[in-house]
Structure 1
Amino acid sequence: MALQTNYLATWQRQVRAALLVGLCAGGSLAAAAQAPTVAAARVPRAYTRAAHLMGSHFTFTAVSADDSLAWRALRAGLRETGRIDRLFSYWDSTSQVVKINRSAGVRPVAVDPEVYDLIERTLKISALSGGAFDVTFASGDKIYQFDRQEHPGLPDSATVRRSVQRIGWQKVRLDPAAHSVFLPEKGMRINLAGVLQGYGVRRAAETMKKMGIAGGLINGSGDVYCWGKQADGSGWRIAIGDPARPHAVSSWLTVSDLAVVTAGNYEQYFTVGGVYYGHIINPHTGYPATGLRSVTIICPDVELADALDDAVFVLGPVDGLALINRLKGVDATVITDAGQTLVSKGMQLNSYHSAAPTAAANPKP
């Protein structure tokens, strides 16, 4: 406002000078009438900040005509995501998640309502997906190395079975009166990594919206949520990567007020006999989920989308898309190991390939 006030004061002095010159010369007031009456309106533009949070790369974008507001909102969104990272960290010894894990088989741990509520929501997703999404996956033994190399074979079946003995979302005991969480077996652990980036993005977006940012986009390493419009008034165009060609795009869509969340096994994987085994483990079997290279979920809730992409990955192309087709307001597109793109019912996708995506009526693995 100070810059605008100074501009108006300068313009007013110039008008008075022009009037004085015109009157002294016997001229008309036409020249003064041609001067502008208000300062030019400020044009919205996009402001962006990047940060390393939750072990991933985040970018925060705010669209605003007020640069001071935009930068304040970006800092607030970043701080909110950092707060969530510390509160739910699997590694920080002061986090409430670590306290729950340390007390497994010993005692319940009272936690903040925010922590209790998120864990409760994840267990509901576990029930919805038949356990394909399971925050107790951290109870499993680490028996794989996802080094992008060819391995001679998979671990023996007995080792794999033992690795998942302590996994089981049904075992988690919640006490709503005490806001406590109890893992009944020693060695059990929870890890909210499968939903935490989505939750962090959602809370950051809510913070920025409350501050008056009408348009923005937050990308937490593939967990994208956008709202409003871009600076030029257009919608947000989100690209979906091509697993067969790193840094290339397989398809895109234009969205607003939606989350677009993608999970893939083309960055953390190993191969056996040319077959890809990605880092997403089937909690029922202990083996890496197979059949899909990429899963993208589109829905208004970025937290929900973040959980569903792992669930679909574990369920596979047929059962995974069947789950999505039962959910209102949720869509998905998946890319199979064979490179085929499948979509849920009603999904509109712009493909960069000549072949159109296959509808989910009779998806083929």
Structure 2
Amino acid sequence: MHASRLPAKRFFSVIARFLVLSWLLVANSAAFAQAPASKPRNFTRTAHLMGSHFSFTAVSADDSLAWRAIRAGIRETQRIDRLFSYWDSTSQITQINRQAGIKPVVVDQEVYDLIQRTLKLSALSDGAFDITFAGGEKIYKFDRKEHASLPAPEVVKASVARIDYRNVLLDPATHSVMLQDKGMRLNLAGILQGYGVRKAQALMRQMGIQGGLINGSGDVSCWGRQGDGSLWRIAIGDPAYPQSVSSWLTVTDVAVVTAGNYEQYFTVQGKYYGHIIDPHTGYPATGLRSVTIICPDVELADGLDEVVFVKGPEEGLAFINKLKGVDCALITNDGRTLTSRGMAVNYYSTQQPQTAAAPKP
């Protein structure tokens, strides 16, 4: 049996088509090789997370990678919210609170580590930051209205009787956490958004995103550069005009956390009282309308803004000036702007910020 053969005309037609196809493939390959690579661009998506407005920006020449990384960052923030939620009946924080004064609760390493870090910040700040604040009684209504008076002193004192970070007992051998007294409560809301931003950023960078910015309702962390090569420009709001900007910074590879005490407040005889409570006294912290912290770690910055609010303008500024690699800009109740020694911001107004003097030895 002989193998069949193509007629000569058909054979040369096949060869010709093969050569044309080969030439097209080579030409297309050469054109593809010579085509300029796609330029990096900013890809942004917003989401409602942790009860707040978040935005995620990824810089990449690969749009598929950028969107995958953003979705991963959102999922990571959701995971952290569930794990640490004060309101979720299944969270480990809720379990700790239920067993207050009864027995320790074994928790995940991640939960244990974050609680441990918050207690270190509490010790560093002499209790100005305290995650047991949830055990305090709610005796104020921050309704932006004029009130006849503050609560009676004995009511204020009793409201913070169960707030004391020193009564959070950690056991490193079992990774357990126990609240020493009944009625105590943990709530990590004062640092959780910063922690969520930090974890989401780490995941996005691990996926290959070389530049990006995450904003968790004022807790901002950025890295790399924007798609056009410029640094990140972060605005600081003006408490006197909540929808406006008082100043801005041009930065990268840093966290900028701004907290305001001017949306939840009340007044008594014209005096302003914001929603941040001093855990030592039970009274609202006074003296400041806005605190901006700049440092490499967004989680730390998220905790430090509350510390400064509680300590007040002078003591808070002196506290920040003692910390390495941390700066701040403060806006006082009377409209003054105070900055730490290393702080450099751009102002829209002609007001010159006041820089704190070096602390006395």
What is the alpha-carbon distance in structure 1 between the residues aligned to residue 324 and residue 46 of structure 2?
A: 33
Are 1:93 and 2:104 an aligned pair? no
Aligned CA distance change for structure 1 residues 122 and 15 (closer, same or farther; 3 Å): closer
Are 1:326 and 2:322 an aligned pair? yes
Per-residue CA deviations over 1:97-128 (Å, capped at 9, x if unaligned) read 00000000110000000000000000000000
Aligned CA distance change for structure 1 residues 139 and 15 (closer, same or farther; 3 Å): closer
Residue identity opposite 2:273 in structure 1: Y
What is the alpha-carbon distance in structure 2 between the residues aligned to residue 190 and residue 182 of structure 1?
A: 10
TM-score w.r.t. structure 1 length? 0.90
- Equivalent residue for 1:129, pick from 116, 125, 128: 125
Higher Cα radius of gyration: 2
What is the alpha-carbon distance in structure 2 between the residues aligned to residue 78 and residue 37 of structure 1?
A: 36
Per-residue CA deviations over 1:18-67 (Å, capped at 9, x if unaligned) read xxxxxxxxxxxxxxx9x886123101111111111111011000000000
- Equivalent residue for 2:273, pick from 259, 272, 277: 277
What is the alpha-carbon distance in structure 2 between the residues aligned to residue 36 and residue 94 of structure 1?
A: 54
What is the alpha-carbon distance in structure 2 between the residues aligned to residue 297 and residue 180 of structure 1?
A: 32
Residue identity opposite 2:231 in structure 1: G
What is the alpha-carbon distance in structure 1 between the residues aligned to residue 317 and residue 175 of structure 2?
A: 35
Per-residue CA deviations over 1:187-244 (Å, capped at 9, x if unaligned) read 1001000000000000000000000000000000000000000111000000000000
Q: How does 1:62-73 map to 2 (within 5 A)?
A: 62-73=58-69
What is the alpha-carbon distance in structure 2 between the residues aligned to residue 212 and residue 225 of structure 1?
A: 17
Are 1:213 and 2:209 an aligned pair? yes
Per-residue CA deviations over 1:333-359 (Å, capped at 9, x if unaligned) read 100001000000121111111021111
- Equivalent residue for 1:255, pick from 247, 251, 254: 251
What is the alpha-carbon distance in structure 2 between the residues aligned to residue 15 and residue 204 of structure 1?
A: 43
Offset at residue 13 of structure 1 (A): 3.3
SS at match of 2:147: coil
SS at match of 1:288: coil
* Structure 1: stretches of 5+ with no match in the other structure: 1-8, 18-32
What is the alpha-carbon distance in structure 2 between the residues aligned to residue 39 and residue 347 of structure 1?
A: 45
What is the alpha-carbon distance in structure 1 between the residues aligned to residue 144 and residue 39 of structure 2?
A: 47
Are 1:13 and 2:21 an aligned pair? no
Moved over 4 A (4+): 14-17
Name the structure 2 match of 1:317: 313
Q: Which moved more, 1:349-358 or 1:58-67?
A: 349-358
CA RMSD of aligned residues (A): 2.0
Name the structure 2 match of 1:356: 352
What is the alpha-carbon distance in structure 2 between the residues aligned to residue 196 and residue 37 of structure 1?
A: 47
Offset at residue 15 of structure 1 (A): 9.1
What is the alpha-carbon distance in structure 2 between the residues aligned to residue 309 and residue 36 of structure 1?
A: 52
Per-residue CA deviations over 1:287-324 (Å, capped at 9, x if unaligned) read 01000000000000000000000000000011101111
SS at match of 1:97: helix
* Structure 2: stretches of 5+ with no match in the other structure: 1-19
Are 1:53 and 2:42 an aligned pair? no
TM-score w.r.t. structure 2 length? 0.91
Residue identity opposite 2:270 in structure 1: G
